Chain A
Amino acid sequence: MEFFTLHDFMTYSKGITYLIMGGILVFMPLYWLYLTERDDD
Chain B
Amino acid sequence: MSQETPIARKQYFTPFNVITGVILVIGLVLTVLRFTKGIGAVTNLDNNNPWGLWIGFDLLCGVALAAGGYMTSSACYIFGLKKYHSAVRPAILTAFLGYALVVFALHYDVGRPWRLPYPIFWSQGTSSLLFEVGLCVFLYLTVLFIEWTPAAFEWLGFKKIRGVVVRLTLVLTIFGVVLSTLHQSSLGALFMIAPSKLHPLWYSGYLHVYFFISSMFAGLSMVIFEGTLAHRWLHHKMDDTHLAESDGVVLGFGRAASFIMMGYVGIKIIGMAVDNEWHYLTTGWGAWFLVELVGFVLLPAILFSMGAREKNLTFIRVAAVWAVLGIVLNRLNVSLIAFNWHLPAADRYVPSIMEVGTTIFIVTLGVVVYRFIALKMPILHEHPDYKEAH
Contact = CB atoms under 8 A, between A and B. Distances in A.
B212 to A, nearest CB: 17
A28 B276 CA distance: 23
A20 B273 contact: yes
By size class, the interface of chain B is 10 to 19
B305 interface: yes
Contacts, number: 43
Given A28-B262, A28-B266, A35 B308 contact: yes
B288 interface: no
A24 B270 contact: yes
A35 B263 contact: no
Interface of A is mostly: helix
A35 B274 contact: no
B275 interface: yes
Interface string A11-40: 011101100110010011001101111100
Contacts of B263: 24, 28
B72 interface: no
A32 B269 CA distance: 19
A13 B273 contact: yes
B305 A17 contact: no
B267 to A, nearest CB: 8
Contacts of B311: 38
A27 to B, nearest CB: 8
The 4 closest A-B pairs by CB, nearest first: A24-B266, A17-B273, A13-B276, A16-B273
Interface of A: 1, 9, 12-14, 16-17, 20-21, 24, 27-28, 31-32, 34-38
27 contacts: A12-B276, A13-B273, A13-B275, A13-B276, A14-B274, A17-B270, A17-B274, A20-B270, A21-B270, A24-B263, A24-B270, A27-B262, A27-B266, A28-B262, A28-B266, A31-B305, A32-B259, A34-B305, A34-B309, A35-B258, A35-B259, A35-B305, A35-B308, A35-B309, A37-B309, A38-B309, A38-B311
Given A14-B274, A31-B262, A32-B259, 6 more contacts: A9-B276, A13-B274, A28-B262, A28-B263, A31-B259, A35-B308
